[in-house]
Amino acid sequence: MSFREQCQVVLTHPMSFLVKIWDEFQAKRLTKTVLPYTLVGPERIRNLHRLACYIERERIPGDVVECGVCNGGTAAVLARSATRSPLSRTIWLFDSFQGMPNVTEHDETGGGRETAQSHIGKEVGDIERVKEVLMLARADMRRVRIVPGWFLDTFPGARIERIAILNIDADWYESVRLCLDTFYDRVVPGGFVSFDDYGHWPGCRKAVDEFFEARQLTYKLHQVDYTARWFQKK
Ligand SMILES: C[S@@+](CC[C@H](N)C(=O)[O-])C[C@H]1O[C@@H](n2cnc3c(N)ncnc32)[C@H](O)[C@@H]1O
């Protein structure tokens, strides 16, 4: 956008311009806060922040769900606004806190040529670190549910009716598939589904592609960086 066009935007929509500046300032601050607690880079953090701001601005109802929390960096980005929302959201954080589970034949080699096998039992999150970063992000802890355990065991007990953001950062085929099978139908129209590992891990990509095919979904997958994707449900 040229300088002249930018000036026109400022003059015709001064409030939305100020909101945009404020959101960008918040995103920068949050990124700095959460970086030591996350495996995810700044671009993906900023994108999650944008989705979190959007559901507030557009008043998209529902809870926020993250599957794959580790030490809580991306969870904190989502939790900051979600837990203070006038829409009384709860943020649900699911993780084994025992590291990555076993792989299946769908998982193989990721971008950077690392093998999925070498990640089994790694990326062990610590609930105390999750709480620490949530507090640093000034999330309201009364609206946070940290649910430790394997998805297979914990998902059935979670009472979640509507979802505004479903953030799936669980790498493997079986994990991603289970997240979609369990939660997709609860994502409300206008809500978002985001995948951290679509470009990196072939198992994640396969799980998403198969799910789209099985449900005959035609949503455009928006690209964040080489790996992350998201779409908005209609
Ligand atoms: C890449 S890490 C998550 C990174 C995190 N979002 C961040 O900000 O750094 C993936 C996490 O998914 C969890 N995970 C993967 N599959 C799981 C499953 N089936 N059940 C429970 N946790 C699982 C692992 O424990 C691991 O902590």
- The 3 state secondary structure assigned to the chain is CCHHHHHHHHHHCHHHHHHHHHHHHHHHHHHHHHHHHCCCCHHHHHHHHHHHHHHHHCCCCCEEEEECCCCCHHHHHHHHHHCCCCCCCCEEEEECCCCECCCCCCCCECHHHCECHHHECCCCCCHHHHHHHHHHCCCCHHHEEEEECCHHHHHHHCCCCCEEEEEECCCCHHHHHHHHHHHHHHEEEEEEEEECCCCCCHHHHHHHHHHHHHHCCCCCCEECCCCCEEEECC
For residue 122, the model assigns a pLDDT of 97
pTM to 2 decimal places: 0.93
What is the bridge-based pairing of β-strands 163-168 and 91-95?
Answer: unpaired
Measured in Å, residue 94 CA sits from the centre of ligand 1 at 8
Confidence of residue 19 (pLDDT cuts 50, 70, 90): confident
Which of 95, 132, 198 to mutate for ligand 1's pocket (most ligand atoms within 8 Å of CB)?
Answer: 95
List pocket residues of ligand 1, CB cut-off 6 Å: 38-40, 68-70, 73-74, 95-96, 99-101, 123, 125, 150-151, 169-172, 175
* pLDDT over 70, % of the chain: 95
For residue 217, the model assigns a pLDDT of 98
For residue 15, the model assigns a pLDDT of 74
What is the bridge-based pairing of β-strands 222-223 and 229-232?
Answer: antiparallel
For residue 133, the model assigns a pLDDT of 98
For residue 9, the model assigns a pLDDT of 62
pLDDT tens digits, one per residue of 98-136: 999 999 999 988 777 789 999 999 999 999 999 999 999
For residue 3, the model assigns a pLDDT of 63
For residue 6, the model assigns a pLDDT of 64
Confidence of residue 205 (pLDDT cuts 50, 70, 90): very high
Which of 167, 171, 182, 194 to mutate for ligand 1's pocket (most ligand atoms within 8 Å of CB)?
Answer: 171
Ordered structural domains, the chain, with CATH: 3-232 (3.40.50.150)
Mean of pLDDT values over 41-67: 98
Q: Which atom of ligand 1 is the closest one to the Cα of 175? A: 19
Q: Which atom of ligand 1 is the closest one to the Cα of 38? A: 9
pLDDT tens digits, one per residue of 152-204: 999 999 999 999 999 999 999 999 999 999 999 999 999 999 999 999 999 99
- Other CB atoms within a 10 A radius of the CB of residue 16 amount to 12
